[in-house]
Amino acid sequence: MSDLELLRRHEPIARLTRGELFFPSAVDAYVRGCGLWMRDESGRTREIVPRGALDLETLAARGDTPAGSSLHLRFVEEPLTAIDLQRWLQRPGRESFRVPGRLARVSFPSRLVDSGFNLSLLVRGKVPGGTAAAAEVAWRNRTAGEARFVYYGRVVREGGWIALQYLFFYPMNNWRSGFHGVNDHEADWEQIFVYLYEPSAGAVPEPYWVAYASHDYQGDDLRRRWDDPLLRKQGAHPVVFVGAGSHASYFEQGEYVMGVEPQFLTPIRKALTQARQFWTVVLGQGLDIPNETSANSPLSIPFVDYARGDGVSIGPGEARQWSPVLISDAVPWVDRYRGLWGLDTRDPFGGERAPSGPKYNRDGSVRRSWSDPLGWAGLDKVLPPPEVPTALGARRAELDTEIATREQTIQEQRHLVRKLAVDVTALGATEYHSALHTRKTRDLTAMETELRGLQSAQVEAIETRAAIRAYDERIRAGDAGDPRTHLRHVHRPAPPVPPQRRIVQLWGALSGAIALLMLVAMVAFALPHWWLWAVSVVLVFMAVEAAMHGRIANFLLNTVITLAAFATLILVWEFWRLLLVLGLIAIAIYILRENLRELAKS
Amino acid sequence: MDSETRPEATLAAPGTARGRTVRKRPFVLNMVAGLLALKAVGHVIIMTVFWLGYLDSPPAYVSGLFVEQAGEYRYFATMIVYAAMYAIVAIGLWRLRSWAWVATMLVLGFDLATTIIGYFQGRANYPSMVLSVVCVFYLNDRDVQGLFARRRARETEA
């Protein structure tokens, strides 16, 4: 079976979200619409191949750069102006994308941090507003009447596996501007893998693993076994749910909440978590044991990746079909162009910079997914199914030999230890042999330790052999085990959000700015008892927040606990001497009681 | 918390005595309920003493924020409300009602707020503050909350 036939046999079905603007596309059409730019050592950028004169061949030919320089493409020449952007937003036939208010889902501190993140975009390099709209217009004009949905496929045979790599190119990632996400950037490369094995020599390869590239996940967590009930398939084709704007790939349909926590807030979050652990676990207060992750941390910025799968579908059995293109190291534009595939904003966090091509990272090094597709998904350690029984048999034979050899060594060692023990006992009978007795005792201790080590290694080997025997029996009975045991972190979609009232969404959007304005007012008017005002403002905000989310009872109870904690501080402040004395008296009584009890027993 | 006050330890399966369900309460919970009942009775006694003319003005540590320099009728009305509030939550706690847990916490929160404000105004009432703090932390204990939560679950099931 040829590489292309293999790719087509298992090509995925991509389900995008309604409102998505950009689809897996052909790179040749995109490159023809781009100019090639170079940034030199001094940081100046200049166009080295103008728009219209660039194609994939030219791109490959201009791939080399002098030291200190970098290359990038630019697809959008000028972002849309504010007026054009409004016209674009109100264009007829625009697919609307509606979401329950992201900010109304989370706590007030998260919203404040989120505002800080938005402010940071003013000083970081970012894709200018109106770029995504301009890209959509330019791409629509460029591909008018030619709707090709392309994947770039590659087949790698390695370590008994056949890795089918499917790469998808999108002209733009508009997650931030289109779907309230983390970032925007020109051009987007995404990928998934299907791993096959040959049941027997010459037989048709069968799929066994599937791996999707996703935010912040790596290794084993990227892949699912073909028989995993949570992996959606249609025949021999896995289904990919594509994140709106981000184009990240997901196994399940839904909305994925991820908390992006600014690094400088991590110590505060950890301290808060520890305080809560102490409060609930050590002091036994409250009903819930905190289980905090970055996604539900009160200090993280809440982002949602919408992989609803309710938009365009591409693939076998769908209205839109794939146009596959085979790529490899032999394809010049893949191998020779290491620059970025879109605008280089120089964002220090990287989120707003365009990616490099299918083979390279932004720094020009080779991507692990390209050079080591097995290791990328944690498959280096995994045997293809037909090889498992043979490997188990070989390992059992190895262990049998190891156990038999070690048993012999243990017998010999025990014999030596016993001989030495006889000597030591005999020499210990008289003071005249004390020097010899001491040396032989030391030798005996060392030999005993060695014997203990051999015996524990023997136990481990016997236990391992038993486990391998049981594993072998399960495999021969056709039981491959739980398909999810290799997973450490599983990103599941968030539960559906109930519809929110308009007032809750409005409060979510306005509360951060109102809090800031109130703070400004307190400073500007130099209010007397400003701290009382500050506490009152915080309380009012928290009360409104709680009322909006129907948690007013919780708010009141938390306020009572806070008051009790504050009153405790007052009492400690006022009576610390008395408390110290009482504490010491208590300790003295305790010691006295324990000692007297011991005395009574003896 | 010792085994005597741990609800799991003391709240064995309810038995029956003379046809009525008997449920054991932790000793400390009885104390809290008793304390709240005493407060209710105390308010009634002070109100009576004041009404009979044995006091010239309401005592500050009882009257709190809302009745100072208020008229006599308003003072009586407030005292009646206080007494009723304490009596209701005491009975609710005694009968292990889930609403009583919330209500007691709110009443204690109100007490704490008034004592803290009083402290900053130079009218510290430390005994009241200590009792409120101890009661709040006791009632917020996971085992005690669990006791009321189980009760609520049983009520829902029924």
Q: Decide if A135 contacts A172 (C-beta within 8 A).
A: yes
A278 lies within 8 A of chain B by CB: no
Whole-number pLDDT of residue A427: 92
Q: Decide if A85 contacts A129 (C-beta within 8 A).
A: yes
State how far residue B101 is from chain A, nearest Cα, in angstroms.
10
Q: Which residue of A has its CA nearest to B107?
A: A560
pLDDT profile of chain A (602 residues), mean per 10: 93 94 92 91 88 91 85 90 88 76 68 74 74 88 82 94 96 89 90 93 91 83 93 95 94 85 75 83 72 56 85 93 94 93 80 89 92 94 92 95 96 96 91 90 95 97 96 91 88 78 78 81 80 81 82 87 94 94 95 92 80
Best probe of the A interface among B1, B133, B144, B145, by most A CBs < 10 A, is B133
A579 lies within 8 A of chain B by CB: no
> What are the residues facing A257 on neighbouring strands?
A304
Distances (CA, A) of B41 to A517, A580, B44, B86: 49, 35, 5, 9
Cross-chain residue pair B126–A559, CB shorter than 8 Å: no
Please state, in angstroms and rounded to a whole number, the distance separating the CA atoms of residues A545 and A108: 7
Cross-chain residue pair A560–B108, CB shorter than 8 Å: yes
Please state, in angstroms and rounded to a whole number, the distance separating the CA atoms of residues A357 and A362: 8
For residue A567, give the nearest of B112, B141, B142 by CB distance: B112
Please state, in angstroms and rounded to a whole number, the distance separating the CA atoms of residues A461 and A403: 7
Q: Which residues of A touch B145 (CB under 8 A)?
A: 286-287
pLDDT confidence bin for B152, thresholds 50/70/90: low
Q: Which residue of B has its CA nearest to A564?
A: B133
Cross-chain residue pair B132–A567, CB shorter than 8 Å: yes
For residue A570, give the nearest of B116, B136, B145 by CB distance: B116
Average pLDDT, chain B: 76
Whole-number pLDDT of residue A505: 77
Both structure tokens of A68: 């200190």
Within 10 A of A66 (CB to CB), how many other CB atoms are there?
Answer: 9
Verdict on whether the full-model pTM lies above 0.90 = no
State how far residue A110 is from chain B, nearest Cα, in angstroms.
27
Q: Which residues of B touch A575 (CB under 8 A)?
A: 126
Average pLDDT over residues B42-57: 79
Within 10 A of A162 (CB to CB), how many other CB atoms are there?
Answer: 22
State how far residue A245 is from chain B, nearest Cα, in angstroms.
45
In A207-340, alpha helices (H): 266-277, 332-336
| Whether the predicted pLDDT of B54 surpasses 70 | yes
Whole-number pLDDT of residue A74: 92
- Going by their DSSP bridges, the two strands A237-242 and A233-234 should be labelled as antiparallel
Please state, in angstroms and rounded to a whole number, the distance separating the CA atoms of residues A55 and A31: 6
Whole-number pLDDT of residue A491: 84
State how far residue B89 is from chain A, nearest Cα, in angstroms.
16
- How many beta-carbon pairs below 8 A join chains A and B? 61
Q: Which of A100-114, B13-27, B107-121 is most confident? A: B107-121
Nearest-CA neighbor of A183 among A391, A347, A340? Answer: A347
Within 10 A of A119 (CB to CB), how many other CB atoms are there?
Answer: 10
Q: Which residue of B has its CA nearest to A575?
A: B126
Which A-chain residues 148-187 have CB contacts (< 8 A) with chain B?
Answer: none
Q: Which residue of B has its CA nearest to A574?
A: B126
- Going by their DSSP bridges, the two strands A70-74 and A35-39 should be labelled as antiparallel
A578 lies within 8 A of chain B by CB: no
Q: Decide if A471 contacts A482 (C-beta within 8 A).
A: no
A511-515 long-range contacts (CB < 8 A, ≥24 apart) are: A511/A108, A511/A111, A511/A541, A511/A544, A511/A545, A512/A108, A512/A111, A512/A112, A512/A114, A512/A115, A513/A115, A515/A108, A515/A112, A515/A541
Whole-number pLDDT of residue A101: 63
For residue B112, give the nearest of A286, A553, A563 by CB distance: A563
Ramachandran category for residue A317: left, alpha or beta (phi over 0 → left; psi -120 to 50 → alpha): left
